């Protein structure tokens, strides 16, 4: 039987997942909110389905009917995950050929651990409303996996970057800032490794919870310094976090401080192509792909 991946929300991560699955011989379709973005998906070999995140359209129902694999990348919002809203038919009815499902979540579900390590067994303590909504959506997907007997993987993603969205580009555009908050660290993940890890879990028929993150949590200002070094540009000045002008959303990210372990994924046999930001930025710079 031909393998078909449906991506719900073919944005930055979704498109990278689509690329990797296509290379592995899958046909791929993906939802987008606008006709304009539909054309760019088509050019990548992803069959677009225009979907606004509301009621399931005929086109989306047809895409679901042929899906052997699905990745859900649409953020839940206040109404919850669109596939588990009241009145929506069950996934087993919508996707009768389904073999594996992946749900893209965030390491934000762990909340703040004051710089301590967390893994997939760590109790969840979401702080922001966004992360609370994610936990609820994770529970729906894992519950569906249990009820259907299908492998459903929850991929908890760290801070995402890659071609066209990275510190090198911020340096060139003059938007890079070295925000310094004492002892603050973040994990990151290169977008291609999100795609590769999703394919690894799908082909291994693995469900459950997985941290998708690099090996090296580190201070955000160090990433900016490394980008400046690679670009041969002056390192931007330090800006104390306390006095920085930040959006409420950006400030909320700094309210959580943790080191996220990827040991479970590596123990299962996955190898990261970009295990740390230095190696990754060097590759983006030398290949020219940092520009997108």
CATH number assigned to the domain comprising residue 182: 3.90.25
- Mean pLDDT of each 10-residue bin along the chain, 292 residues long: 92 97 97 92 96 89 96 91 89 96 97 97 92 95 96 98 98 95 96 98 98 96 97 96 88 92 98 98 97 92
Output the pTM of the full model. Answer: 0.96
* In a shared domain, residues 16 and 128: yes
55 and 192 inside one domain: yes
In a domain, 115, yes or no: yes
The pair of three-digit structure tokens given for residue 139, joined into one six-digit string: 């529970």
163: which strand partners? none
Kindly state whether residues 281 and 182 are assigned to the same domain. yes
Number of domains in the chain: 2
Q: What is the CATH number of the domain that holds 122?
A: 3.40.50.720
Residue 265 included in any domain? no
Determine the structural domain holding residue 76 and report its residue range. Answer: 4-159+188-212
The whole-angstrom separation of Cα 73 and Cα 8 is 6
| Residue 25 falls in which region: left (phi positive, over 0), alpha (psi -120 to 50) or beta | left
Return the SS3 of 17.
helix
Alpha carbon distance 86, 249 (integer Å): 29
Residue 132: CA count within 13 A, CB half-sphere: 5
Q: Are residues 172 and 115 in the same domain?
A: no
């Amino acid at each position: 039987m031909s393998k078909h991946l449906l991506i719900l929300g073919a944005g930055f991560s979704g498109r990278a997942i689509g690329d990797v699955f296509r290379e592995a011989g899958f046909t791929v379709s993906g939802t987008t909110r606008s006709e304009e973005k539909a054309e760019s998906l088509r050019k990548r070999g992803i069959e677009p389905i225009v979907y606004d995140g509301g009621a399931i359209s005929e086109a989306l129902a047809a895409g679901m009917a042929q899906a052997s694999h699905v990745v859900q990348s649409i953020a839940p919002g206040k109404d919850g995950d669109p596939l588990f809203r009241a009145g929506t038919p069950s996934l087993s009815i919508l996707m009768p050929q389904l073999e594996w499902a992946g749900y893209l979540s965030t390491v934000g579900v762990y909340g703040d651990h004051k710089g301590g390590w967390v893994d997939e067994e760590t109790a969840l303590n979401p702080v922001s409303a966004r992360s609370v909504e994610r936990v609820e959506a994770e529970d729906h997907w894992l519950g569906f996996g249990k009820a259907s007997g299908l492998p459903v993987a929850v991929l908890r993603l760290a801070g995402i970057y890659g071609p066209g969205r990275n510190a090198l580009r911020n340096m060139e555009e003059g938007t890079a800032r070295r925000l310094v908050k004492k002892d603050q660290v973040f994990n990151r993940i290169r977008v291609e490794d999100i795609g590769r890890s999703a394919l690894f879990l799908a082909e291994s028929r693995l469900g459950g919870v997985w941290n998708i993150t690099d090996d090296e949590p580190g201070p955000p200002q160090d990433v900016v310094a490394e980008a400046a070094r690679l670009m041969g540009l002056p390192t931007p000045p330090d800006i104390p976090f306390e006095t920085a002008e930040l959006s409420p959303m950006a400030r909320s990210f700094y309210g959580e401080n943790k080191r996220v372990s990827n040991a479970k994924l590596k123990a299962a046999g996955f190898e990261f192509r970009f295990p740390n930001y230095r190696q990754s930025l060097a590759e983006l710079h030398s290949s020219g792909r940092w520009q997108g």
